[in-house]
Structure 1
Amino acid sequence: MNRLPGLDLLRAWAIVWVMLFHSYVVGGLGERFAWLGNDGWMGVDLFFVLSGYLIGHQLLAPLARGEPLDWRGFYRRRAYRILPAFLAVLAVYVAWPALREAPGLAPAWQFASFTLNLLIDYEHDKAFSHAWSLCVEEHFYLLFPWLAWWLLRRPSLRKAVALGLGVVAFGMAVRGYVWLHEMASVREQPGPAFGLRFVEGIYYPTWARLDGLLAGVALAALRVGRPQMWMRLQRHAGIVLAAGLGLFVLAWWLFRARLGFWPSVVGYPLLSLALALCVGAASAMPMRWAVPGAGWLARVSYSLYLSHKLALHAVATWWVGPWQWHGFAAFALYAFGVLAVGAALHYMVERSFLRWRDRTPVLAEPAAAGP
């Protein structure tokens, strides 16, 4: 299937940004370059928007044509896409504690049931904690097909908009309540306890982190339900991109105090709207503007996301530390290790199962689904 270079570029940027952010597990990027990764957590929100858009279009387009919901095919495709690489990395975390980037690991059943983000004890179980975002996406995959089917049984713009605004308002209310009440006992003394409460009550739970997925779905709904408006958006992609970048700068400014009340309440929907505009504009990027290497990073981004903390810790333990490497040489070694481990996971596990899936016509990924 044809890939969209603009979306590949955004996905590549998202995974690089996230990995730079997670470089804290090996001491960070140093004072001179810390700014490159400080806000890399936003890359996860970009992944959410991309997933919402691609999966939203994959489901909404056939439903809008009057086709029945192929829920068995959808869940089987998602299982082949998500589970093999995830379970392979989980097996490494469980079987080889020395490879973990942090000593504590949540019970394996929390990962297997995708409840990690709802039950995690972040103070003691930081290893493989970045799987929280995969839990959010799995909950989305579980519920959204049926919600899309229900909405398109009797299509109503008013009903869809009311539901979307309701989800946004609910998330804002939950985050505001947690910040004002559940974090009250530690709010006056900022420190580790405050950050732990923030992560477990505001940042990780699915019901507080649906803004990005919803923004992506809204973009897909615009493409499916209002094709003329979508074409106008594509024709004016430069203006849309400028608007998205402007809102992104506003969100970035608001998140300077990331753990504050207003960033917690309104920052995530603002950031998601900004990223959705960027995704909409990037989808119109012509092939001649493709950035070399971005397509490959986009293809292996899932495996990189799963494995990069293992790779960082291994490189730090076996090479950078014993050899006393510093500066650019250490960075290059970390980059090589992360890319090598991610590529191995992609080609040996993820791609093998995707090929197996695609040999079965009923399970082959629809062309509109994206990478």
Structure 2
Amino acid sequence: MQRLPGLDLLRAWAIVWVMLFHSYIVGGLGERFAWLSSYGWMGVDLFFVLSGYLIGYQLLAPLVRGEPLAWRDFYRRRAFRILPAFITVLAIYVAWPSAREAPGLQPAWQFLTFTLNLLIDYQHNPAFSHAWSLCVEEHFYLLFPWIAFWMTRRPSIGRTLAMGVAVVAFGMGVRSYVWLHDMAPARNQPGPAFGLHFVEGIYYPTWARLDGLLAGVLLAALRVGRPAWWSHWQVRRGMLFGASGGLFALAWWLFRDRLGFWPSVVGYPLLSLSLALWVMLASGLHARWKVPGANWLARISYSLYLSHKLALHAVATQLVQPWQMHGFAAFSLYAVGVLAVGAALYYAVEQPFLRWRERIDQRQSVPVAPAAMAS
């Protein structure tokens, strides 16, 4: 299977950053590293951009060549990729309450129908809440093949840009309404209402979190529909690096007050644009840019994402707390535990189903674009 070292590096960084962010469930990394872990939620947005780009390219490239929409193959491949590891982790959450990082868990049917991010009671049921991003992805998988088919029937830059502007404007409108209608009245009141409105109304719902996926899809559309433009910017890597770094620094600065009005409304499209430029830059990196271990982390990143809170909780309750460990020793145990559990889930569950998927692909001669191999 062909891998792209630049995208693997971004995927590895994204999963490490997310896990650092979620270290709050075991007390965090300490004050010295709080600045790093507090921005780790951006790793999810990077995953969204990567997913939009990889899936977008996988679907748009054959459609632009005039091939029919292979929707059955697409949904089958997604099912083999997503469901086995997800159902395994969900079964652990349901069957062993003591393994959860928090006692409360939403009903299993909400996870299985991928409606968790729309229905969650975060105050009482935060366990396995990070599955919200998988719900957003699943909604994207469900709808985008048909949007891609519609986009390529009569390709039009104007129509594509109009759709992108409409999606961004809709998300900004939803987030501004939630902030002004729900969050602003609760800002100066005691209790968790302010933060809960943010999580349940702005951060989790699919309709408010499409910026990253859209940025990735538009990047794929640029590569497929305007290859000359793509090549033009690929050879101007210095300009890409400067633009992506500048926009990312601006987004970082804006999100100093993550729950504020302007970050909530305009921060996500700004962040997604900067990350899309990083993806464009990384997609052209050659094999010499490989970082040891990044390929492996990228391969097991999905299993790590699903299982890392279980691993953090297990290490905390079984080792760190009984042995009263702190500092580097505790951090090392957490790192080893998270990697061990994630790797076990990948090799025992995810990889066998991926190999099964490959055998079916070979029998059916299903072509897969190189840029989408990792998905």
Task: Compute the displacement of 1:191 (Å).
Answer: 5.1
Task: Compute the displacement of 1:370 (Å).
Answer: 3.2
Amino acid at match of 2:6: G
CA distance in 2, matches of 1:180, 1:36: 29
> Aligned to 1:183, what secondary structure does the other structure show?
helix
Task: State the Cα deviation string for residues 332-367 of structure 1 (Å, max 9, x = none).
Answer: 000000000000000000001000110112367543
Check if 1:67 corresponds to 2:67: yes
CA distance in 1, matches of 2:368, 2:316: 38
The match for 1:178 is: 178
Q: Is the 8 A contact 2:4 2:283 kept in 1?
A: yes
Amino acid at match of 1:137: E
Matches within 5 A, 1:198-237: 198-237=198-237
> Aligned to 1:33, what secondary structure does the other structure show?
helix
Task: Compute the displacement of 1:143 (Å).
Answer: 0.2
Q: Taking every aligned residue pair, what percent have the same amino acid on both sides?
A: 76
Structure 1: gaps of 5 or more residues: none
CA distance in 2, matches of 1:229, 1:148: 20
CA distance in 2, matches of 1:44, 1:36: 15
Q: Is the 8 A contact 1:49 1:212 kept in 2?
A: yes
Q: Is the 8 A contact 2:212 2:269 kept in 1?
A: yes
Q: Is the 8 A contact 1:55 1:369 kept in 2?
A: yes
Task: Compute the displacement of 1:187 (Å).
Answer: 2.3
Q: Is the 8 A contact 1:46 1:272 kept in 2?
A: yes
The match for 2:320 is: 320
Task: Compute the displacement of 1:331 (Å).
Answer: 0.4
Matches within 5 A, 1:1-371: 1-189=1-189, 192-360=192-360, 361=362, 362=364, 365-371=368-374
Task: State the Cα deviation string for residues 206-241 of structure 1 (Å, max 9, x = none).
Answer: 000000000000100000000001011111123202
Task: State the Cα deviation string for residues 168-221 of structure 1 (Å, max 9, x = none).
Answer: 000000000110112233023375210011000000000000000000001000
After TM superposition, where is structure 1 displaced by more than 2 Å over at least 4 residues in a row? 182-185, 187-191, 361-368
* TM-score normalized by the length of structure 1: 0.98
Q: Give the RMSD, CA atoms, in angstroms.
A: 1.1
- Once the two structures are overlaid, the 10-residue window that deviates more, 25-34 or 351-360, is 25-34
> Aligned to 1:358, what secondary structure does the other structure show?
helix
CA distance in 2, matches of 1:190, 1:53: 42
Task: Compute the displacement of 1:315 (Å).
Answer: 0.2
CA distance in 2, matches of 1:152, 1:283: 23
- Once the two structures are overlaid, the 10-residue window that deviates more, 201-210 or 155-164, is 155-164
CA distance in 2, matches of 1:123, 1:334: 26
> Aligned to 2:114, what secondary structure does the other structure show?
coil
Q: Is the 8 A contact 2:58 2:368 kept in 1?
A: no
CA distance in 1, matches of 2:367, 2:64: 20
- Once the two structures are overlaid, the 10-residue window that deviates more, 183-192 or 298-307, is 183-192
Structure 1 residues 320 and 365, CA gap change in structure 2 (3 angstroms) = farther
Task: State the Cα deviation string for residues 62-110 of structure 1 (Å, max 9, x = none).
Answer: 0000000000000000000000000000000000000000010000000
Task: Compute the displacement of 1:35 (Å).
Answer: 1.8
Q: Is the 8 A contact 1:77 1:365 kept in 2?
A: no
> Aligned to 1:359, what secondary structure does the other structure show?
helix
CA distance in 2, matches of 1:19, 1:190: 30
Structure 1 residues 128 and 293, CA gap change in structure 2 (3 angstroms) = same
Q: Is the 8 A contact 1:237 1:280 kept in 2?
A: no
> Aligned to 1:285, what secondary structure does the other structure show?
coil
Structure 1 residues 141 and 190, CA gap change in structure 2 (3 angstroms) = farther
> Aligned to 1:12, what secondary structure does the other structure show?
helix
> Aligned to 1:118, what secondary structure does the other structure show?
helix
- Once the two structures are overlaid, the 10-residue window that deviates more, 184-193 or 164-173, is 184-193
CA distance in 1, matches of 2:188, 2:181: 12
Amino acid at match of 1:58: Q
* TM-score normalized by the length of structure 2: 0.97
Task: Compute the displacement of 1:36 (Å).
Answer: 2.1
- Once the two structures are overlaid, the 10-residue window that deviates more, 209-218 or 174-183, is 174-183
CA distance in 2, matches of 1:297, 1:172: 33
Structure 1 residues 11 and 49, CA gap change in structure 2 (3 angstroms) = same
Q: Is the 8 A contact 2:151 2:160 kept in 1?
A: yes
CA distance in 1, matches of 2:61, 2:303: 28
> Aligned to 2:32, what secondary structure does the other structure show?
coil
CA distance in 2, matches of 1:242, 1:351: 38
Q: Is the 8 A contact 1:171 1:209 kept in 2?
A: yes
> Aligned to 1:291, what secondary structure does the other structure show?
coil
CA distance in 2, matches of 1:23, 1:125: 18
Q: Is the 8 A contact 2:53 2:216 kept in 1?
A: yes
Q: Is the 8 A contact 2:4 2:371 kept in 1?
A: no
